[in-house]
């Protein structure tokens, strides 16, 4: 007899004797359970349900799911950029074309990041499912509506960007830079693998912005009853995947005509973060440019001229008011 959580957080007994059945056999055996609330589940919901039923242990299922998704998303996004670095044709869009990472640099960075994934990031993952249970984060099916998931993910992007800006700016002060953040600045011209090449303290600190805000949202939603739409673990999974893609892309070192910053207002992208690595200061935000603009921390000579013009205008206005 197998069990899984439904959307009311109670256990449903499913009449499936596993007896060494493969995940494909479990999927076939669940066919009669793939209609919920009068509609047939979509393929992702079916696979999600099958995974939790197959694993028989929700803590193990969630922990393993998160770790595998993280590895596939991160390295799966890094590898295309590694290939791009090997093709001279793309050099015309490289922000620092004279600084192409060598195969040795790619390999050394890959090993360091993989080690960090197992020794730093893997352990907290196993605590996430008990946290989901206590905060009533749903793992059942069906998933929330697409509009709800998109709105929550946008909120997480905005909140994480603010956290990243504050923490990143702190890491550029004296002791914090020398003892923690300096490792991440080993490469003045970043490439995909460098996105998570950082000191363990930095990895955990900046990771709070990625995982902490969904947890905070779930806590507020639980406290306020039905005031906020419920948060689903699938939404958090999608958010983490997109955040990983954003982190890797911002470290890619390439600014293409089709890059997202050409289409999404205030989107930072690689052009924004590459300047940070090149000049070592400024451009502290992760996803958007507005915080660096508002707090006058934009990097580079062009941004410096803009700040000087803004300062001159403010000085003129102040002088006119004093007359």
Q: What percent of the chain has pLDDT over 70?
A: 89
> Maximum Cα–Cα distance for the chain, whole Å?
88
Residue 317 pLDDT exceeds 80: no
Q: Mind giving me the DSSP string for 18-77?
A: -TT--HHHHHHHTGGG-EETTEE--HHHHHHHHHHHHH--HHHHHHHHHHHHHHHHHHHH
Q: What is the pLDDT of residues 251-286, one digit of tens each?
A: 999 999 999 999 999 999 999 999 999 999 899 999
Asked if residue 89 has pLDDT above 50, the reply is yes
Cα 316 from Cα 314, distance rounded (Å): 5
pLDDT at 1 over 60: no
- What is the mean predicted confidence (pLDDT) over 108-123? 95
pLDDT, tens digit, for every residue of 237-254? 999 999 999 999 999 999
Residue 90 has pLDDT above 90, yes or no: yes
What does the alpha-carbon distance between residue 94 and residue 168 come to, in Å, rounded to a whole number? Answer: 24
**Cα distance between residue 62 and residue 67, in whole Å:** 9
166 in a structural domain: yes
Angle at 282 between CA 157 and CA 259, to 5 degrees: 50
What band does 33 get if pLDDT is binned at 50, 70 and 90?
confident
Please check whether residue 27 is in contact with residue 46, taking contact to mean a CB–CB distance below 8 angstroms.
yes
pLDDT tens column, 47-77: 999 999 999 999 999 999 999 999 999 999 9
Residue 276 within any structural domain of the chain:
yes
On whether residue 27 sits in a domain, the answer given is: no
User: Does residue 107 belong to any structural domain of this protein?
Assistant: yes
Which pLDDT band holds residue 31 (cuts at 50, 70, 90)? confident
Q: Are 264 and 244 in contact (CB under 8 A)?
A: no
pLDDT at 54: 93
Q: How many domains does the chain have?
A: 1
Residue 143 maps to a domain? yes
Considering the entire predicted model, what is its pTM? 0.89
51 in any annotated domain = no
Residue 79 in domain: yes
Backbone angles phi, psi at 34, to 5 degrees: -90, 10
Residue 253 domain-assigned?
yes
Segment 85-99 shows an average pLDDT of 96
Q: Which domain holds residue 133?
A: 57-314
């Amino acid at each position: 007899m197998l069990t899984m959580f439904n959307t009311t957080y109670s256990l449903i007994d499913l009449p499936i004797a596993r007896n060494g059945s493969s995940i494909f056999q479990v999927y076939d055996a669940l066919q009669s359970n793939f209609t919920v609330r009068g509609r047939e589940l979509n393929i992702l919901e079916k696979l999600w349900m099958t995974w939790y039923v197959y694993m028989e242990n929700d803590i193990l299922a969630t922990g393993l799911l998160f770790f595998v998704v993280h590895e596939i998303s991160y390295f799966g996004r890094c590898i295309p950029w590694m290939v791009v670095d090997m093709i001279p044709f793309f050099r015309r869009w490289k922000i620092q074309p004279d600084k192409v990472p060598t195969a040795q640099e790619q390999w050394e960075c890959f090993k360091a990041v993989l080690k960090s994934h197992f020794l730093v990031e893997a352990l907290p993952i196993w605590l996430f499912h008990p946290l989901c249970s206590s905060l009533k984060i749903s793992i059942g099916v069906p998933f929330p509506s697409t509009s709800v998931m998109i709105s929550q993910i946008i909120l997480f992007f905005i909140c994480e960007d603010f956290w990243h800006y504050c923490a990143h700016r702190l890491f550029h002060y004296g002791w914090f830079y020398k003892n923690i953040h300096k490792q991440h600045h080993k490469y003045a011209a970043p490439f995909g693998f460098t996105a998570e090449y950082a000191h363990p303290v930095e990895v955990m600190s900046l990771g709070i912005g990625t995982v902490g805000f969904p947890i905070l949202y779930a806590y507020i939603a639980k406290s306020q009853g039905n005031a906020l739409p419920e948060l689903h673990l699938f939404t958090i999974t999608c958010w983490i995947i997109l955040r990983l893609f954003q982190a890797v892309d911002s470290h890619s070192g390439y600014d293409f005509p089709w890059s997202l910053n050409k289409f999404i207002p205030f989107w930072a992208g690689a052009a924004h973060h590459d300047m940070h690595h090149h000049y070592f200061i400024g451009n502290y935000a992760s996803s958007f440019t507005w915080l660096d603009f508002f707090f006058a921390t934009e990097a580079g000579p062009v941004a410096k001229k803009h700040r000087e013009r803004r300062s001159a205008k403010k000085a003129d206005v102040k002088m006119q008011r004093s007359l």
